[in-house]
Chain A
């Protein structure tokens, strides 16, 4: 069942088009990623979804509600963590959580949330004294303190160190395990690949692809590459004759085989039959990065 539906969303600011034509739907219980480079229109899209902006054209429905008309009800049921939103520098963790939980009809137990997010020992610490990762966790806690059905999280791990990023990812998986649908906005490929069930790839205000991370990768590169150093002389024709192989090249002592289908199995079978051992065998698989290049013709992180 779709809990968020966006159809032909269009939004311009003055002369520039923020979002040109964006359509997607988010199913209940999934982690849906909105992925794209900076300035692609991701934030504008979620701002329209959360009712912070009015779209120029297009239809947005969230939990059957119109984000602008039914904003009061929407705010009760959708938790939002916005990019670069701080808190009062001198408010403590416990004060912020207690205050924000009082805003909701059916709040979560904020003490429990504070424990779950590893902030219990920081309860009396002021926001300005928290580390970047702790501030981010508090932000997530505030997005969850109203027991939302949907959590929208924008640029969750920007500015965090690698350990804090991994901890945050674990946290998001726990949130989803708790039954919350997560809409995740990111410009990090690894984050999208690791967390998202499905994702919309946005570039210049348009959805260029909408699929699972694996599906996007497969679509981007059907070809795979196998590299190895043969233990004995190897006739290239043994490999070229295979139906899976499209090309065989050599780089020094290494053989590079390009092909499709179950390439690795085909190559290793031939080598085994000829009693050749493949040293330094490596299979190069496409990543989401390659998918982005294939779909847009440029790299995500310049």
Chain B
């Protein structure tokens, strides 16, 4: 077994021992959607949303919530803590480069959001009749680059923050902005058009997730899907954010 695999398995165990990350990052998105789905007016098509179903409209925002917790909050905190408490420094005295530990963390985060996403999509499908993604490959791509962009921002926060406390504060700030743009706090169809468009480009790209997921024209109409940026452009923007922020994080990251 390679050292990266061993390190990843240990980091995965450590992730599972963090109740906040597991509960809020992995389970919470599904729980919220199911709870909202238990309310008949939110489960059924409503004239208020132009004939769309609220749960179907809002489900991608729940994904944004999970990605934000795992890839932004948790990663920024873990990386900054590993540096501050000398874990990276200790590792740099062994034959293993401390970058392996960071890589292991990123893999754990990827698996965690993949589990969170699958759980949400499948339970919404089984329990709330929200169809499975209409364009599954585009959905996976949007999910992948969106996650990558948020993860890169989380790593960048850890790279520039002088300590874990400031990393936590900065990550929360960025998190609030992304959650707002992603329609987590206020459903996007209630927002002015300019803010809805923000969701096209703010990582992880709630609009891209929505358009790849839902085939209901009523759902798409509420957030101006047909007038918004083409999907390819949205994906490219996410990939660009992931690349630039990732590169900046790698360059700026201090090992001690």
Alpha-carbon gap, A146 to B87, bound state (A): 17
Number of interface residues of B (CB under 8 A): 20
Cβ B18 vs Cβ A52 within 8 A:
no
Among candidates A78, A85, A95, residue contacting B90 with C-beta atoms closer than 8 Å = A85
Cβ A87 vs Cβ B93 within 8 A:
no
Residues on B with beta carbons closer than 8 Å to the beta carbon of A91: 10, 14
Task: Judge if A80 is at the interface, Cβ distance under 8 Å.
Answer: yes
Task: Judge if B134 is at the interface, Cβ distance under 8 Å.
Answer: no
> Which residue from chain B places its CB closest to the CB of A80 in the assembled complex?
B93
Among A54-62, A100-108, A217-225, the stretch in contact with B: A100-108
Cβ A103 vs Cβ B95 within 8 A:
yes
Cβ B14 vs Cβ A75 within 8 A:
no
> Which residue from chain A places its CB closest to the CB of B15 in the assembled complex?
A90
Residue with the highest number of chain B CB atoms closer than 10 Å, among A50, A86, A100, A105: A86
Residue with the highest number of chain A CB atoms closer than 10 Å, among B82, B85, B90: B90
> Which residue from chain A places its CB closest to the CB of B255 in the assembled complex?
A52
Interface bin, chain A: 20 to 34
Cβ A102 vs Cβ B94 within 8 A:
no
Cβ A85 vs Cβ B89 within 8 A:
yes
Alpha-carbon gap, A102 to B1, bound state (A): 9
Residues on A with beta carbons closer than 8 Å to the beta carbon of B86: 82, 84-86
Cβ of A276 to closest chain B Cβ, rounded Å: 62
Alpha-carbon gap, A75 to B3, bound state (A): 15
**Could you mark each residue 71-95 of chain B with 1 if its beta carbon is under 8 Å from any beta carbon of chain A, else 0?**
0000000000010011101101111
Cβ A100 vs Cβ B94 within 8 A:
yes
Binding site for B on A (CB under 8 A): 50, 52, 72, 75-76, 78-80, 82, 84-88, 90-91, 95, 99-100, 102-105, 142, 146
Binding site for A on B (CB under 8 A): 1, 3, 6-7, 10, 13-14, 17-18, 82, 85-87, 89-90, 92-96
Q: List 12 A-B contacts (CB under 8 A).
A: A52-B89, A72-B95, A75-B94, A80-B90, A85-B90, A86-B86, A87-B90, A95-B13, A99-B6, A102-B1, A102-B3, A103-B3
